[in-house]
C-alpha cells in the first residue's frame, strides 16, 4: 500500500474528479449524437448507392472514399478553421458532432451496403411480385434480415468513434481528453490524470461493447 | 480556381516535404509493428498462461485507449522516466506499439484460419518450432491477412496526422504552419485532404495488386 500512496496522489482525484466525469459525459453525448447522425447519413448513402441514376451512385461512392481516405483531424480542421471563410461559423462542439457524424457516416454506409448486398435478389423480387412497396421492402425485408450481419461491425465502429472523439480536444471541445490535459497542466501530475483517462475510456468502451452483446443476443432469437 | 491553383503551387514543395515525413513515419511504424505484432501473436497463442496473460493485457491496453492519449502518454511520460527522445521518435514508438496490438489480432486470425495441421506436420518432419513458424506458417498467413493488413496500413497512415500535436513536422503540421502564415485554412486543408486521399488510394491499389499477384501462385 505504501508504494500505491507514494506513486499516486489520491487527493488529486477528489479535486479533479468532477472535471474528468463532466468530460466523460461530454464525450458520451457527443458520440451518441454523432452515432445517430452517422447511422442516418450511412443508411441514406447506402440506399442511394444502389440508385439506378449513375451520378447519384458516383456521388455516394465519392463520399465514402473521401471519408475513408482522409484523417478525421483534417476534416475537423476544414470545418472549424476553413468554415468561417465561407461564412460557416460553428461552435467547437457543433463542429465536433457534425464532423464525427459525417465522418462515421462513410463507414456506416459501407457496413450497411454490405448488409444490403447479403440479401438474395430472389427475396426482393418475390416481395415485389407480392405487391410490397419499395419502402416496405426496405423496412420489412431488408433491414430485419441484415441486422444480424451489421450489428457487430456497427458496435465496433461506435467504439472506434469514441476513441476518435479524443481528437475534439484539439479544437477545444471540453471532452474527456481536453479536461485531462487541463488537469495535467494545472497540477503538473502526469501519472494520475492519464491512469484516470485510460480507465474512463475503457469503462465507456466496455459499456458500449456490453450493450452490443445484449443487442446481438436479442436479435439472434 | 486559377487563384486556388496558384496558392497551392506556391506551397506544394512544403506540403510534399510534410507528406514524405508522413510516409516515413507510417512505413517505419508498420514495419516495426509487424515484427512486434508477430511476436505478440505467438505470445497470444502460447500455451503458457504467464506468457499469454501479459500479451493479452498489452493488447487490450493499446486497442482500448484513444491513440491521441497514447501519444500524449509516450511523449510526456518518457522524459519522466529519464528517456529524453526527440518528438519524432516518441511518435513513431507510440504508433508502432499501437499498430502492433492491432496487427497481432490480424495475425492471430490468420493463424487460426491456417489451422494446426501444417505446424504439426512440419514438427513431425523434424523442423524446429521457430523455423516452422518463420518458413511455413508466416508466409502462408500473410497471404490470408493481406486485405486486413492493407486496411491497417491505411488507418496508420491516417493516424500519423495526430503526431502533429506533439510538434512533429509531418503533412498535418506543415499545413497548419502554412495556414498560420496566410490564414487560407479552407484552401490549404482541402489540398492536404486530397494528398491524404491520393496516398491512401495508391496504398489500396497496391494492396489489390498484391492480392491478385499472390493469389495467382496458389
Instruction: Please report residues of B whose CB lies closer than 8 A to that of A72.
Output: 158
A148 DSSP 8-state letter = H
Say how far residue A69 (Cα) sits from the centre of its chain.
Answer: 16
Say how far residue B204 (Cα) sits from the centre of its chain.
Answer: 14
At residue B212, does pLDDT exceed 90? no
Q: A63 CB near a chain B CB, below 8 Å?
A: no
Q: What are the pLDDT digits (tens) for A82-140?
A: 888 888 889 999 999 999 999 999 999 999 988 888 888 888 889 889 888 888 888 88
- A82 three-state secondary structure: helix
The pLDDT, as a whole number, for residue B109 is: 87
ipTM > 0.85, yes or no: no
- DSSP string spanning B77-92? HHHHTT----HHHHHH
The pLDDT, as a whole number, for residue A3 is: 56
- Over A22-79, what HEC string results? HHHHHHHHHHHHHHHHHHHHHHHHHHHCCCCCHHHHHHHHHHHHHHHHCCHHHHHHHH
The pLDDT, as a whole number, for residue A116 is: 84
Q: Of the candidates B66, B189, B201, which has its C-beta nearest A77's C-beta?
A: B189
Q: What are the pLDDT digits (tens) for B161-184?
A: 999 988 888 999 999 999 989 888
The pLDDT, as a whole number, for residue B82 is: 81
Mean pLDDT to the nearest integer, B46-74: 90
Mean pLDDT to the nearest integer, B130-151: 88
- Nearest residue in chain A measured CA to CA from B79: A190
Cα separation, B149 vs B185, whole angstroms: 33
Task: For B85-111, give one letter per residue: b (16+ CB within 10 A) or e.
Answer: eeebebbbbbbbbbbbbbbbbbbbebb
Q: Of the candidates B73, B159, B186, which has its C-beta nearest A194's C-beta?
A: B73
Q: Which three cell numbers stand for residue B33?
A: 509493428
CB A119 within 8 A of CB A145: yes
Cβ within 8 Å, pair B172-A73:
yes
At residue B199, does pLDDT exceed 70? yes
The pLDDT, as a whole number, for residue B117 is: 87
A119 DSSP 8-state letter = S
- Nearest residue in chain B measured CA to CA from A190: B77
Cα separation, B75 vs B65, whole angstroms: 15
Mean pLDDT to the nearest integer, B153-167: 91
Q: Could you tell me the CA-to-CA distances from B65 to A34, A132, A191 in Å, in that order?
A: 19, 46, 15
- Nearest residue in chain A measured CA to CA from B80: A190
The pLDDT, as a whole number, for residue B216 is: 53
- B162: Cβ–Cβ under 8 A, 6 or more apart, which residues? A71, A73, A167, B67, B68, B71, B172
Cα separation, B93 vs A150, whole angstroms: 34
At residue A221, does pLDDT exceed 80? no
Cα separation, A95 vs A72, whole angstroms: 12
The pLDDT, as a whole number, for residue B217 is: 54
Cα separation, A168 vs A171, whole angstroms: 5
Instruction: Please report residues of A whose CB lies closer than 8 A to that of B186.
Output: 78, 81-83, 85-86
Cβ within 8 Å, pair B196-A69:
yes
Chain B interface residues (partner A, CB cutoff 8 A): 61, 64-69, 72-73, 76-77, 80, 154, 158-162, 164-165, 172, 176, 179, 184-187, 189-190, 192-193, 196-197, 200-201
The pLDDT, as a whole number, for residue B77 is: 79
The model's confidence at residue A2, banded by pLDDT at 50, 70 and 90, is low
CB A205 within 8 A of CB A42: no
At residue B132, does pLDDT exceed 60? yes
Q: Of the candidates A82, A170, A177, which has its C-beta nearest B69's C-beta?
A: A177
Angle between helices B2-44 and B185-216 (to 10 degrees): 50
Q: What are the pLDDT digits (tens) for A129-186?
A: 988 888 888 888 888 888 888 888 899 899 999 999 999 999 989 999 999 989 888 9
At residue B105, does pLDDT exceed 80? yes
Per the listing, cell 491553383 goes with B5
Say how far residue B54 (Cα) sits from the centre of its chain.
Answer: 22
* Residue A54 exposure: Cα atoms within 13 Å on the Cβ side: 0
Cβ within 8 Å, pair A78-B185:
yes
Cα separation, B44 vs B55, whole angstroms: 6
The DSSP H or E segment spanning B27 is: helix B2-44
Q: Of the candidates B67, B77, B165, which has its C-beta nearest A190's C-beta?
A: B77
Amino acid at each position: 500500500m505504501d508504494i500505491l500512496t507514494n506513486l499516486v496522489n489520491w487527493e488529486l482525484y477528489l479535486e479533479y474528479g468532477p472535471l474528468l466525469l463532466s468530460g466523460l459525459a461530454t464525450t458520451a453525448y457527443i458520440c451518441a449524437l454523432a452515432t445517430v447522425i452517422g447511422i442516418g447519413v450511412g443508411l441514406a448513402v447506402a440506399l442511394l448507392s444502389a440508385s439506378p441514376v449513375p451520378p447519384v451512385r458516383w456521388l455516394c461512392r465519392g463520399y465514402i472514399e473521401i471519408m475513408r481516405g482522409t484523417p478525421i483531424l483534417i476534416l475537423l480542421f476544414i470545418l472549424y478553421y476553413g468554415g468561417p471563410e465561407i461564412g460557416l461559423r460553428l461552435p467547437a462542439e457543433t463542429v465536433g458532432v457534425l464532423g464525427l457524424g459525417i465522418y462515421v457516416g462513410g463507414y456506416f454506409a459501407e457496413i450497411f451496403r454490405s448488409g444490403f448486398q447479403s440479401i438474395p435478389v430472389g427475396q426482393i423480387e418475390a416481395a415485389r411480385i407480392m405487391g410490397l412497396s419499395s419502402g416496405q421492402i426496405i423496412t420489412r425485408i431488408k433491414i430485419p434480415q441484415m441486422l444480424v450481419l451489421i450489428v457487430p461491425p456497427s458496435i465496433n465502429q461506435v467504439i472506434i468513434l469514441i476513441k476518435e472523439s479524443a481528437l475534439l480536444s484539439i479544437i477545444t471541445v471540453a471532452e474527456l481528453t481536453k479536461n485531462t490535459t487541463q488537469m495535467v497542466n494545472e497540477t503538473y501530475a502526469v501519472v494520475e490524470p492519464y491512469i484516470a483517462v485510460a480507465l474512463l475510456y475503457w469503462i465507456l468502451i466496455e459499456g458500449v461493447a456490453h450493450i452490443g452483446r445484449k443487442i446481438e443476443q436479442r436479435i439472434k432469437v | 480556381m486559377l487563384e486556388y491553383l496558384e496558392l497551392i503551387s506556391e506551397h506544394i514543395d512544403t506540403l510534399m516535404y510534410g507528406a514524405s515525413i508522413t510516409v516515413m513515419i507510417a512505413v517505419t511504424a508498420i514495419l516495426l509493428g509487424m515484427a512486434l505484432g508477430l511476436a505478440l501473436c505467438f505470445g497470444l497463442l502460447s500455451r503458457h498462461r504467464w506468457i499469454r496473460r501479459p500479451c493479452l493485457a498489452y493488447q487490450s491496453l493499446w486497442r482500448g485507449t484513444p491513440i491521441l492519449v497514447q501519444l500524449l502518454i509516450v511523449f510526456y511520460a518518457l522524459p519522466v522516466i529519464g528517456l529524453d527522445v526527440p518528438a519524432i521518435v516518441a511518435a513513431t514508438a507510440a504508433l508502432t506499439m499501437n499498430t502492433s496490438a492491432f496487427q497481432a489480432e490480424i495475425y492471430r486470425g490468420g493463424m487460426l484460419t491456417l489451422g494446426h495441421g501444417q505446424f504439426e506436420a512440419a514438427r513431425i518432419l523434424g523442423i524446429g518450432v521457430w523455423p516452422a513458424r518463420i518458413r511455413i506458417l508466416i508466409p502462408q498467413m500473410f497471404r490470408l491477412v493481406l486485405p486486413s493488413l492493407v486496411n491497417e496500413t491505411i488507418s496508420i497512415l491516417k493516424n500519423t496526422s495526430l503526431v502533429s500535436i506533439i510538434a512533429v513536422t509531418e503533412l498535418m503540421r506543415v499545413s497548419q504552419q502554412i495556414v498560420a502564415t496566410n490564414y487560407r485554412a479552407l484552401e490549404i486543408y482541402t489540398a492536404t485532404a486530397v494528398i491524404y486521399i491520393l496516398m491512401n488510394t495508391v496504398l489500396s491499389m497496391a494492396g489489390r495488386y498484391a492480392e491478385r499477384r499472390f493469389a495467382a501462385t496458389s
